[in-house]
Amino acid sequence: MSRFTAFVFIATALFLAGCNTQTSQDQKKKNPSDTAAIKQKVAAKFEFRDEIHNFGALKAGEVVSYSFRFENTGGEPLTISHIKNECGCLEILYPKKPVQPGEKSTIEVIFTTDGEWGNEFKTIEINTRKGLKKNIAVTARIQNAQFEKLINKK
């Protein structure tokens, strides 16, 4: 009888061990670790090709523009809610529709140099609906003949 009890005990242990293996395989199926599944859980994220653009030397009165290219490298749609800039000399054009994960888009900055002079550095703050903030900037050296005449008179 003791051999029979030992046999039943070993058979039961093997059966339960086999069930446990199946359970862990089921958990792997329910919790995939592939990149696509992980990316979907990651919040929206900006990734800019460049964050500062230098227009170089300009003359006052020139209007120049630059398109900042970015990609949503996160796993959720990225929606820009508003943009803050420190100067009325900048016009900012940005996508109003959500930028989907993996999608690329642009933010165009139009810089009007009337009334500007010297080395200028203009910061633009981009805000998303989910609270993400990102700063980009434009810079230029602006020659303004009117201001230079006033300074040279002294």
Q: Per-residue pLDDT tens for 134-152?
A: 999 999 999 998 877 778 8
Tens of pLDDT, residue by residue over 42-76, are 788 999 999 999 999 999 999 999 999 999 999 99
Judge contact between 98 and 79, C-beta under 8 A: yes
Q: What integer pLDDT is reported at residue 84 of this predicted model?
A: 96
What per-residue confidence (pLDDT) applies to 149? 77
Predicted local distance difference test score (pLDDT) of residue 36? 52
**pLDDT score at 104:** 97
pLDDT category at 86 given cuts 50, 70, 90 is: confident
The predicted-structure confidence for 94-143, as pLDDT tens digits, reads as follows: 999 999 999 999 999 999 999 899 999 999 999 999 999 999 999 999 99
Would you state the pLDDT for residue 3? Answer: 67
pLDDT of residue 153: 77
* pLDDT per residue as tens digits for the range 19-30: 555 544 555 555
Global confidence as pTM: 0.70
